[in-house]
Amino acid sequence: MPETTEAPWSPRIGVDGRKFPGAVRGGCHDTLVRAQREGFGGVFFRTLLDMSPTLDDGELREIRDHADELGMYLEAGLGKVNPFATPETPELRAAGDGDILLGFRRMMEAGARIGCVELWAATTNYQVGYPGKFVWDRFRTDVTWREQLAATRRFLARLRPIALDLGIHINLETHEEITSFELVELVEATGPDVCGIVFDTANPLQRLEHPRSTTDRVAPYVRQTQLKDCSITPVRDGLRFDLTPCGDGLVDFGYVLAALARTAPAVNLTIENQESRADFPGPAPVTVLPIRDADFVGSHSDLTVPEFAAFTGLVYGRALERSQDAVPPARFGDAEAMAAVRRSLDHVTKVRDRVAAAARCPAVPA
């Protein structure tokens, strides 16, 4: 743990500005006010286009000033940097009047002007409604995952000089479809001076990784966070993945935060809650890891046998502790989503304070 300093480690805890209950309907200013009222210290708006679809300087500055007035941190992002996925988000190309590289430049310049220099990005979208492994774009049949990663690497190389010029970090999320091994390779290839990681703590379990091992791999590169937890339950077709409030699932937040206190002490802690169906109508997506599909398992070529064994031990050991009738609530509206995010805030706050106390009072050597 870090040595005791005059400014002890006490990062602010914020919330996802797209999934916080009511955010889609209320807008950025309302989200800031309500998030502060609930005890959050900042808001992470997923993209600058969520803050202002036209990247209007006045509109962005008002949001920045409002966050400052409330004493809250403000973070934002860019979009998908995999060229095979960007057509699904046409607003990125529209931001550059048809020139997608220009669109990213304009978003990065807008972020720099309001002091948002740590910018989220990801590789693909989650494909709601498709069966089995096809919810993840790593299993597309028109283009291989290797080709997608190569295209992403080339696009990031084109963004690199822009990021250097503006003092920006493009931070790639540990998203559902990409392994932490692949993510670290992308960061190293692009250069850690302009590229980092947004640590989503639950997603890597969809790639069969043990949460502690993922933490060890990504911690040196983390510059933003999306803290969330999950349960994984054996079902007929494989392993069902469900989000839970932080502390109720498989992620060891004590281990995660202790690692970040050492490697990324300035990072903000953002909770990404399960979204209310009032904001995102329709049934919640159901994710099942097709663990008996050889193609699914075999696609994780970097995963070692010991880590896979640790993952399965964690999953099946915890599943035995849970009721076989445990299922997500049939209704998950604003009230349920707010109760869950409050529970997450309470857990992360307690863990943060415990880790900070341990840092201030290191154990006496025997």
Residue 307's pLDDT is what? 98
| 49 located within any domain | yes
| 363 located within any domain | no
Residue 129's pLDDT is what? 87
In 3D space, the residue among 323, 321, 349 whose CA is nearest the CA of residue 245 turns out to be: 349
The two tokens of residue 331 are: 């209704």
Model pLDDT for residues 234-254, shown as the tens digit of each residue: 999 999 999 999 999 999 999
Predicted confidence band at 191 (pLDDT cuts at 50, 70, 90)? Answer: very high
The two tokens of residue 92 are: 């990125």
Could you give the CA distance from residue 199 to residue 215 in angstroms, rounded to a whole number?
8
Report the chain's mean pLDDT, rounded to a whole number.
Answer: 93
Domain count, the chain: 1
**What mean pLDDT is predicted for residues 96-121?**
98
Model pLDDT for residues 145-189, shown as the tens digit of each residue: 999 999 999 999 999 999 999 999 999 999 999 999 999 999 999
CATH number at residue 93: 3.20.20.150
Residue 235's pLDDT is what? 93
Please count the other Cβ atoms lying within 10 Å of the Cβ belonging to residue 178.
27
| 118 located within any domain | yes
Task: State what percent of residues in the chain have pLDDT above 90.
Answer: 89
Residue 284's pLDDT is what? 81
**CA torsion through residues 360, 364, 365, 366, sign:** negative
| 300 located within any domain | no
Q: Is the pLDDT of residue 340 over 60?
A: yes
Task: State what percent of residues in the chain have pLDDT above 70.
Answer: 93
| 77 located within any domain | yes
User: Residue 86 sits in which domain range?
Assistant: 13-230+243-281+331-358
| 167 located within any domain | yes
Higher pLDDT, 119 or 366: 119
**What mean pLDDT is predicted for residues 60-85?**
98
| 290 located within any domain | no
Model pLDDT for residues 1-30, shown as the tens digit of each residue: 334 445 689 999 999 999 999 999 999 999
What are the helix (H) ranges across the chain? 23-26, 28-37, 48-51, 57-69, 90-94, 100-113, 145-166, 180-190, 211-218, 253-263, 294-298, 305-321, 334-360
In 3D space, the residue among 349, 214, 207 whose CA is nearest the CA of residue 290 turns out to be: 207
Residue 322's pLDDT is what? 60
For the chain, the first-to-last Cα distance in angstroms comes to 17
| 7 located within any domain | no
245: left (phi over 0), alpha (psi -120 to 50) or beta: beta
